[in-house]
Amino acid sequence: MRLPQARPLPSTIDIRSDQFRRNRADMEEMLAVLDGLYRQAADGGGDRSHERLAARGKMPVRDRISLALDRDSPFLEISPLAAWGSDYTVGSGMVLGIGVIAGTECVMLANDPSVLGGAMTSFAVKKLMRALEIARHNRMPYIQFVESAGADLRGDPDPERSMRTNTTHFGESGRMFYEITELSKMRIPTMSVVFGSSTAGGAYQPGMSDYNIMIRDQSKVFLGGPPLVKMATGEDSDDETLGGAVMHTEISGLGDYLANDELDAIRLCREVVSHLNWRKLGPAPTMPADEPVHDAEDLLGMVSRDLRQPLDIREVIARVVDGSRFEEFKARYGTTMVCGWGSIHGYPVGVVGNNGAIFSQSAEKAAQFIQLCNQIDVPLVFLQNITGFMVGRDFEHSGIVKNGSLMINAMSNSTVPHITVIVGSSYGAGNYGMSGRGFNTRFTYLWPTAKIAVMGPKQMAGVMSIVERNKAQRQGTPFDEEADAQRAAFVEEWAEQQSLALYATSRVSDDGIIDPRDTRTVIGMSLSYCHNNTVQGAPNYGVFRP
């Protein structure tokens, strides 16, 4: 595969057109809203909380992370807008991301003590479990900055919903213990730097870690604090003698390193990472990593807010792959699916993108291409803008279910890394076929224009209207047209709001909304993370229906 010989993709985008200008203005408006939310997440519990922590000699959580990272190295934050639209603070009192420490890419998870004392909410637990998943799948050292008051016990105002939420929360928290231990079994190093309280279930975060760093007169680790011990046993004790840093490093043996203050703890963290002798198992970049020929600024005006404007996905590819070079596979067959080879920041990739609904031939082509990428150990990048698999009598006769299943079979059994970017629509089974989050995709990112749903809002409202009309006809009752119109309007509006990128990312269903101009950089960073592990395709597949 000699990609430098491939010709750069041409571009036909008219950046002076009215449509492009409208699209760009809409995108800039959405990005401005996101910037405000990112600032809100970074603010955590607000100025008063930070002032109170500073008075106790404690740094803001993002300062701790920044000091641990190598100078001028990037930090890719994951799910920064978790809990948006809920009763919890945006970000949910936890920072998750991937950064470089002592030359090693590490998954970093940090409680924000300015938010509920670092208590674990249901959203925070989702971020924690995602952190462990990233570390496991990509074979990356896992570092926790622990300072948590334990589980959030406030519950939900609705007793039934509260019981259901808390039960799920408890189960996921318990799974955390298993997965931290599993990382160690897989020879993936784990470390806890305890910046404050680590109580009850949270005590097992350092308890299950390979390395523990504790801070004198600041770290506290115990299953039950002094009040609980008093109530349970009648024993009087104080924080330090019960579970302080000195006790754990000198008596219990839970602590491995004793730091004098937070800066010293961060220094020790970097020292521990430096001795891990960490080596990536995947190959280094092998292709020229020159910038695309076409300007990434153009990506701002490509997608309409309402997604009805057609987009040639090659225009996106041309602004993401190295040198805009793209060797297209089966270009004249199954044309609503664009497949081909390129490279991103020097890493060879196979790209699968949508230029319309998935037809039988499109699915067949994608299945073959996915198998070919697995055969030569090349990661796959999926660019989603998909309304779903094509429906209708003629398409059923042409084998859309059979060939669609063939595509999903190939994608599900694929073992090379998958990275997915949803630029526009992601509806129904199209989300699955194009490597949605439920298919062990290594990383999933959204553009602000992304919409994710079982089907489009108009189609959902229309289907429900048809069902109700048929029901009335079967029962021989009159059909209320006015009520149907009101119901359809409500369903359409509800489905529209539930499908928005901001709603999806707030539920931790992806790894974050990115600026379209950063797509190439974010994919390149993700490919680097994936290459900590082996990049090896599936040796065989499940049964393909002929």
- Report helix, strand and coil shares of the chain as percent, to nearest 5: 45, 20, 35
Q: Which two tokens stand for residue 292?
A: 């695309």
Write out pLDDT tens, residues 397-456. Answer: 666 888 888 999 999 999 999 999 999 999 888 888 899 988 889 999 999 999 997 655
Q: What phi and psi, each to the nearest 5 degrees, are found at residue 417?
A: -60, 140
Furthest CA-CA distance within the chain: 81
Q: Report how far residue 341's alpha carbon sits from residue 69's, in angstroms, rounded to the nearest whole number.
A: 34
Buried b (16+ CB within 10 A) or exposed e, 313-322: bbbbbbbbbb
Q: Output the pLDDT for position 168.
A: 46
Q: How far is CA 123 from CA 95, 97, 128, 446, in A?
A: 11, 15, 9, 19
Picking from 433, 485, 536, 505, the residue whose alpha carbon sits closest to that of residue 84 is 505
For 276, the 3-state DSSP assignment is coil
Work out the angle between the directed axes of helices 159-185 and 122-138 (0-180°, nearest 10).
Answer: 20
Sign of the C-alpha dihedral, residues 231, 237, 240, 245?
A: negative
Q: Output the pLDDT for position 177.
A: 82
**SS3 sequence, 293-342?**
CCCHHHHHHCCCCCCCCCCCHHHHHCCCCHHHECEEECCCCCCCEEEEEE
Q: Output the pLDDT for position 134.
A: 98
Alpha-carbon 142 to chain mean position: 16
Judge whether 319 and 432 are in contact, CB under 8 Å: no
Question: Strands (DSSP E) along 324-403, which ranges?
Answer: 327-329, 337-344, 347-354, 380-386
Judge whether 92 and 112 are in contact, CB under 8 Å: no
Q: Which residues of the chain have pLDDT under 50?
A: 1, 3, 156-170
Q: Output the pLDDT for position 164.
A: 40
Q: How far is CA 373 from CA 20, 138, 411, in A?
A: 34, 19, 11
Q: How far is CA 75 from CA 31, 228, 306, 444, 481, in A?
A: 19, 39, 32, 17, 54
Q: Report how far residue 263's alpha carbon sits from residue 63's, in angstroms, rounded to the nearest whole number.
A: 10
Alpha-carbon 210 to chain mean position: 26
Picking from 416, 468, 403, 463, the residue whose alpha carbon sits closest to that of residue 442 is 416
Sign of the C-alpha dihedral, residues 231, 237, 239, 245?
A: negative
Picking from 395, 393, 391, 373, the residue whose alpha carbon sits closest to that of residue 382 is 373
Q: Output the pLDDT for position 81.
A: 97
